[in-house]
Chains A and B, each alone.
Chain A
């Protein structure tokens, strides 16, 4: 059995936050003058990227960061800090920005943009015309696009794959359902679809209805903090249906498990953003321009992770089994729905509050 929740989103965050704070304190004096000195150099100098780490981070090193580090004079360093919008805000408010590029979920990117802690992307430098649809946002360039959906055991569903209606109907199939506490991945949207809302008619989300539905099936749900945990539960049989993402299910299939994936969830993106007044923000914009224009990079990240990249042409060149799992695949696009980043940017707090009401009711 694979033991991998260590790179799960939850466990590592506070530790790295504190480590980050310590770094900030330690770097107060010396670090800044260095940054300023190199900042004007543009194509050369330093670039510090805060990424997610894990298998996804390794794939990004291969597809983007190592290539850029070699092709240019820029010294690019990647910190696997699992950076969050909270960590970015702290750095910006204390005028001590340590990261040039940070990867954030789409909803956090919009929220950060509204809060004014992110630099608007300079589309004089970044060529928007080569980008995939929705890849060029006001404060972020997509690093990858993913789908979220339902993971299941093939032997349980020999004919038709399970739907959200069945996921949220305890009578349709025995066993627990694992859902994700990171609601930005679409947890509340799926509850509403499971309760009969049309997937094209979700926004604005009816939060009260979602909470009522969750409470009504609470005994059959397991709430997990990471998709790795969900995979583990499906493997062990503790859950028979899980909320999951294409790359996670691909990983289970590669381990030899007879599991299926129904991409009926949201398609969303994870975005590279530049914190306000980042020490090397010009260099950061140049990296984003390069990553957007790099056709091979998007092809490679797609083949490595089953998540498509920012370059529209590159995504069309992705080959192999993963092509069927990509959010840009027409079959997937028909089953899934796009996340409404505008709604999330403005309503994350209300949505989280609603989900907390479910989490704390006994």
Chain B
């Protein structure tokens, strides 16, 4: 226990205090980083973009992760093992490699545009790369396996006799799912959503590689502040703002999912 506290103090508390301190330094004009950030329309619009991209990504990721987790939960034997294995494999590939693969897939001469032109849907290549869509597709791709795990774990915790009871009492598949299975997997969905949202809000490589102008996220601004402007106070301020925004949004998100849990009781 002491060791854990020591690691947290050295690895988290001390750097965090440093970060806060740094963000409160006053610059030459007598203002601190927060005043400068909130007076800069560019920064504000990037913060808003970050929230929009993170929320959209979370919705799509969970929307895809749930059916996948549900399907794996209902699979059996070797097939189930194969599916679980397939879920783990993507963790071995770095995000840069994954995102770069998307540039090859989405580029004008890439397979998607070739196919669209081949079957005559379009005669000119469609701009897919450097769009918001490309950023979200690649983020969902990266986050999907991470989102499946907590939902799958929550599903395996469900007592299957409850489902049998529901069916034997005359509820159809749909009713059983909405009244029994989904509410009982609620905590898994909540954990998964929060994890995905927190990770999505901190994305850096994807908007840099696949996004266009207007798709930059806060992490890209932090990089600019450190590496291009040598402004560590601005970088610290931005980091704190994202951190606080994420912390505040977690209980709000959880409250949205919690009522469903109540119903199940």
Contact = CB atoms under 8 A, between A and B. Distances in A.
B205 interface: yes
Given A237-B109, A353-B42, A360-B216, A6 B224 contact: no
Contacts of A352: 224, 228-229
A359 B208 contact: no
Secondary structure of the A side of the interface? helix
Interface string B40-65: 11110110010000000000000000
Interface residues of A, number: 44
Contacts of B219: 14
A138 interface: no
A184 B224 CA distance: 12
Contact of A221 (B46, B205, B209, B213): B213
Given A225-B208, A238-B108, A238-B129, A112 B213 contact: no
B7 to A, nearest CB: 12
Given A10-B223, A236-B110, A360-B42, A111 B208 contact: no
A112 B230 contact: yes
B42 A357 contact: yes
Contacts of B223: 10, 13-14
Contact of B214 (A5, A17, A86, A361): A361
Contacts of A198: none
Given A357-B42, A361-B214, A89 B232 contact: yes
A14 B108 contact: no
Contacts of A348: 228-229
Contact of B226 (A84, A184, A223, A232): A84
A358 interface: yes
B10 to A, nearest CB: 8
B70 interface: no
B227 interface: yes
Contacts, number: 99
B130 interface: yes
Interface string A102-119: 000000100110010000
B208 A11 contact: yes
B100 interface: yes
B229 A349 contact: yes
A34 interface: no
Interface string B187-229: 0000000000000000011001100111010010101111111
Contacts of A358: 213
A266 interface: no
A356 interface: yes
A68 interface: no
Contacts of B221: 356
Interface of B: 40-43, 45-46, 49, 96, 100, 103-104, 107-110, 129-130, 204-205, 208-209, 212-214, 216, 219, 221, 223-232, 235
23 contacts: A1-B104, A10-B205, A13-B223, A13-B227, A14-B204, A14-B223, A86-B227, A86-B232, A87-B226, A115-B230, A218-B213, A221-B213, A238-B129, A349-B229, A352-B224, A353-B40, A353-B42, A356-B224, A358-B213, A359-B42, A360-B42, A360-B45, A362-B45
Interface of A: 1, 3, 5-6, 10-11, 13-14, 17, 84-87, 89-90, 108, 111-112, 115, 182-184, 218, 221-223, 225, 229, 232-233, 236-238, 348-349, 352-353, 356-362
Given A5-B96, A352-B224, 8 more contacts: A11-B209, A13-B227, A84-B226, A112-B230, A218-B213, A232-B103, A349-B231, A360-B49
